Chains A and B, each alone.
Chain A
């Protein structure tokens, strides 16, 4: 089956620093990748959608200058949380798919738990 990895799985950083999270599709080419954020006891909230080679589309209320998304290849998307603050602490999950490849579902990565001190 389609496998998506994320790195790192956990990260702890100081307030004001930037953190980069990688999302990779390991055995398929992902034309579209999605980034979600999940706070404790809550559902997943879509942050942005990225298509390979084009700018990400951000959901309302998500600061594009704070959450930088790059989808430079068909197997890699990165999310950089710039100048992180404690309120950015959350569980970040990516998913990937290839609609043109006939996939009808998104394949989820294992998630990255970010803690900002």
Chain B
């Protein structure tokens, strides 16, 4: 599985847009990029996944440049409830079962 690097922590204020960038220089051709979110005292939950260009859902957007060596998770107009740890993972598609490797993630703190 490709190794990922992301900032340890980020601070923001309510109403701002937050962008968390993840580096994955060794991403393989058949790898997808997936982000999980973990609130305090809860298990992680899937928030978004993409292969290239831009993906948007009701929670976030994911921007992936053409070389796919990095990706940016964008959270529009964050609120206090977006305070969480965000994990970037890279793993292959077309495999069915796979083992995930969670790094330490990015700890986002949103203040009033």
The answer on A and B forming one complex is no
| Interface residues, chain B, with chain A CB atoms under 8 Å away | none
